[in-house]
Amino acid sequence: MHNFEKLVFWQKSIELAKQVYIICVELPKDEKFGLISQIKRSVISIPSNIAEGAGRNNDKEFYHFLGIANASSFELQTQLILTRELNLLEAEKVNGLISNLNEIQRMIYTFKSNLKK
């Protein structure tokens, strides 16, 4: 088992989730059950799957859950791009979130590569 709270990419994904929740307030109310709901589910899935994988019995299972977390990160990235393309959020804000997300994606990829060795 790994202590997920000490993993920097888990910490960064928690911070990203907080940022995303704050920015979701700026989205149109009619997106509450559409895009907002999807964005929130995706962003919460990232640290949740990291934590779940860390608590599993072996590194193979952890590797699997990191894959799920990474997939959720790409889902979130797509949704954020859509908000930018639809001019629902300022491009600068979205680009900052995507930059943070890309850093998390790289960190997960690197950690997964080291787990596999």
pLDDT digits (tens, 9 = 90+) for 5-25: 999 999 999 999 999 999 999
CA dihedral 39, 96, 110, 53 (to 10 degrees): -30
Q: What is the pLDDT of residue 71?
A: 98
Mean pLDDT value across residues 21-49? 95
Mean pLDDT value across residues 94-109? 98
Question: Which residue pairs from 82-90 have beta carbons closer than 8 angstroms and sit at least 24 positions apart in sequence?
Answer: 82/35, 83/27, 83/35, 83/39, 88/26, 88/27, 88/28, 88/31, 88/35, 89/23, 89/26, 89/27
Q: Which helix (H) or strand (E) holds 89?
A: none
Q: Is the pLDDT of residue 2 over 90?
A: no
Q: What is the pLDDT of residue 39?
A: 98
Q: Is the pLDDT of residue 1 over 80?
A: no
pLDDT digits (tens, 9 = 90+) for 44-99: 999 999 999 999 989 999 999 999 999 999 999 999 999 999 999 999 999 999 99
Which one of 1.10.3720.10, 1.20.1250.20, 1.20.1440.60, 1.10.10.10 gives the CATH number of domain 33-114?
Answer: 1.20.1440.60
**In this structure, what token pair is assigned to residue 97?**
């979130």
Q: Which helix (H) or strand (E) holds 55?
A: none
